[in-house]
């Protein structure tokens, strides 16, 4: 019982700070995405492709979350966009306060899009609001089509499911119809975008989605 009480207090405090973040984003007219997935789905690759497509027309900032290294932040920094790395030192998710602290390193008034690349995990991040406008859950065809059924809370709270590595469909046991059905059973309003970061197929749909929301 005491564990539940502590968890509720932690989440309540997190939600309060997330509300503060949301007001900060709103004040600066900043569209904010929380990008979530298990490790290896291709979050950073999608982020790189997004910056390549939009960096000349939209001012982008990035918050990178990782358990230990700053490898992803180094990859993103090559694109000359402002990026802040959060190392959780073993923590399995980002929290609203960590994001709020990271915001101090940006001039938010100069940005239009902020992407928060969360720690690779489909469990813990589902419980933590960061103040974002949209949660994007990403999975790849190499992971299997049962991810929504295995991790329903994550897909329930997400706005969009991005399915990456469609170029490998002929080589893996992944049923696109089945994953769609499972995902929509959990969340009927979940938008689904299929793409391949490697070949570029479907990336235009993703880019259009960002432009429409901006």
pLDDT digits (tens, 9 = 90+) for 109-123: 999 999 999 998 999
- Residue whose token pair is 């899009």: 113
Predicted confidence band of residue 172 (pLDDT cuts 50, 70, 90) = very high
- Calpha distance 106→84 (Å, rounded): 8
Inform me whether the pLDDT recorded for 89 exceeds 90: no
**Could you tell me which residue, 90 or 33, shows the higher pLDDT?**
33
Position 74 scores a pLDDT of 86
pTM > 0.75: yes
Give the chain's domains with CATH numbers: 2-213 (3.40.50.300)
List pLDDT tens digits, range 10-32: 789 999 999 999 999 999 999 99
Angle 140-91-151 (CA atoms, 0-180°, nearest 5)? 40
């Amino acid at each position: 019982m005491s564990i539940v009480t502590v968890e509720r207090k932690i989440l309540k405090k997190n939600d309060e700070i997330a509300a503060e973040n949301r007001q900060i984003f709103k004040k600066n007219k900043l569209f904010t995405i929380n990008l979530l997935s298990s490790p290896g789905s291709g979050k950073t690759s999608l982020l790189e492709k997004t910056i390549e497509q939009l960096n000349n027309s939209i001012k982008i900032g990035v918050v990178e979350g990782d358990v230990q290294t700053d490898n992803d932040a180094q990859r993103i920094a090559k694109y000359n966009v402002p990026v802040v790395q959060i190392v959780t030192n073993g923590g399995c998710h980002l929290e609203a306060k960590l994001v709020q602290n990271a915001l101090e390193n940006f001039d938010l008034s100069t940005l239009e899009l902020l992407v928060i690349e969360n720690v690779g995990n489909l469990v813990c991040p589902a419980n933590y609001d960061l103040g974002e406008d949209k949660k994007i859950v990403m999975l790849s065809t190499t992971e299997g089509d049962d991810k929504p059924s295995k991790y329903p809370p994550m897909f329930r709270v997400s706005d969009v499911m991005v399915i990456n590595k469609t170029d490998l469909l002929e080589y893996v046991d992944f049923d696109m119809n089945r994953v769609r059905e499972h995902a929509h059973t959990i969340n009927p309003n979940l938008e689904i975008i299929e793409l391949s970061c490697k070949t570029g197929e479907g990336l235009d749909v993703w880019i259009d989605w960002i432009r429409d929301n901006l």
